[in-house]
Amino acid sequence: MTEPRARDDLAAIRPPHAGKQVLKVVRQAEALRRLILRHRAAGAVIGFVPTMGSLHEGHLQLVRRAIRENDVTVASIFVNPLQFGPGEDFDAYPRTPANDRSRLRREGVHYSFEPGREFYPVGFQTLVSVRDLSRPLCGPFRPGHFDGVATVVTKLLLAALPDCLYLGQKDYQQAMLLRRLVRDLNLGLRLVVCPTVRESDGLAMSSRNAYLTPEERERAPEFARALRATAKAIRSGEIREASEARRRIRQALRHPSWRLQYADVLQAETLAEVSPLRGRLVVAAAVYLGRTRLIDNVLVRAPGTGKKGTK
């Protein structure tokens, strides 16, 4: 498969689009598509960063990378009802549109795509489903969530028509699933997965961190520490089985403020089970801290499984 064009390869032959541009808010998919088709016809390379808003440094890292690598950058802000289950926090999800827009403007984003609920037409019934990658980790605890993600991202891609799609490692299962989707549907996109941005104490940045009480916020870094310590024990060969890793994480989060939903160690790309642990792995978990659900993950390579010996 040929990699789509990177900005540098084309810099010499394209007219410049990157100059100062004021952020334009677009609400209709068709309007965005028309605008982007014009840029593409003029040779522009398009970068796209999908978000649910309530933007923080984690999002902005994706935005900055997109701006660096493309002529035109589109960010979307859409709290996607299809990926929330009944009883989940769709209504409570933090919404800060004015603040988000001023941040996108400051970064130099060209278009903020902000569809309303009519993004799903009346009678909507089409779902995109990435079968196996939806099954492990968050899958059993959030039925329908990944179909909601795959469906909305497909719709967003069809509106923004990007060359490059920017996602965060923070939502690791989502990123792997969307990589599969891009391949399976021959979207011909370059997918860039950016490292998780963390607070100085290690807590992964998340819009949902706003739900934490001050006491919970103080305890929250224990989560990342537990995953990091487990990854270290895998790297050193001390932990050789996922079951032992699970036990270690559960033990580290034994304070009653924590409720572990799942913890697992899986093959990093396919999210398949591996026993004994070998090759590139992801240590991933979801926990409740009080009423707030947090997810995090760490990538690690098991010892004695250099590039040659792994698949």
Residues involved in catalysis: 59
Stretch that binds ligand AMP, among 199-207, 232-240, 266-274, 299-307 (CB under 6 A): 199-207
76 interacts with ligand AMP by CB under 6 A: no
Choose, by CB under 6 A, the member of 134, 196, 209, 297 that binds ligand AMP.
196
Nearer to ligand AMP, 39 or 56 (CB): 56
If the CB atoms of residues 47 and 168 are measured against ligand AMP, the closer one turns out to be: 168
Q: Which of 206, 209, 292, 297 binds ligand AMP (CB under 6 A)?
A: 206
The single residue among 52, 159, 245, 285 that binds ligand AMP, judged by CB under 6 A, is 52
Q: Is 39 in the site for ligand AMP (CB under 6 A)?
A: no
Q: C-alpha angle 148/153/158, rounded to 5°?
A: 130
Q: How far is CA 202 from the centre of its chain?
A: 18
204 binds ligand AMP (CB under 6 A): yes
Q: Is 148 in the site for ligand AMP (CB under 6 A)?
A: no
Under the binding rule (CB under 6 A), the answer on residue 60 touching ligand AMP is no
Residue 284 binding ligand AMP, by CB under 6 A: no
User: Is 168 near ligand AMP (CB under 6 A)?
Assistant: yes
Piece in contact with ligand AMP (CB under 6 A), picked from 89-97, 196-204, 241-249, 272-280 = 196-204
Q: Which is nearer to ligand AMP, 62 or 212 (CB)?
A: 62
Among 18, 46, 51, 180, binds ligand AMP (CB under 6 A): 51
Q: Does 197 bind ligand AMP (CB under 6 A)?
A: yes
3-state secondary structure the chain: CCCCCCHHHHCCCCCCCCCCCCCEEECCHHHHHHHHHHHHHCCCCEEEEEECCCCCHHHHHHHHHHHHHCCEEEEEECCCHHHCCCCCCCCCCCCCHHHHHHHHHHHCCCEEECCCHHHCCCCCCCCCCCCHHHCCCCHHHCCCHHHHHHHHHHHHHHHHCCCEEEEEHHHHHHHHHHHHHHHHCCCCCEEEEECCCECCCCCECCHHHHHCCHHHHHHCHHHHHHHHHHHHHHHCCCCCCHHHHHHHHHHHCCCCCEEEEEEEEEECCCCCECCCCCCEEEEEEEEEECCEEEEEEEEEECCCCCHHHCC
Whichever of 149 and 277 has its CB closer to ligand AMP, that residue is 149
Stretch that binds ligand AMP, among 128-136, 197-205, 225-233, 243-251 (CB under 6 A): 197-205
Q: For binding to ligand AMP (CB under 6 A), which residues are involved? A: 51-52, 58-59, 61-62, 167-168, 170-171, 194, 196-197, 204-207
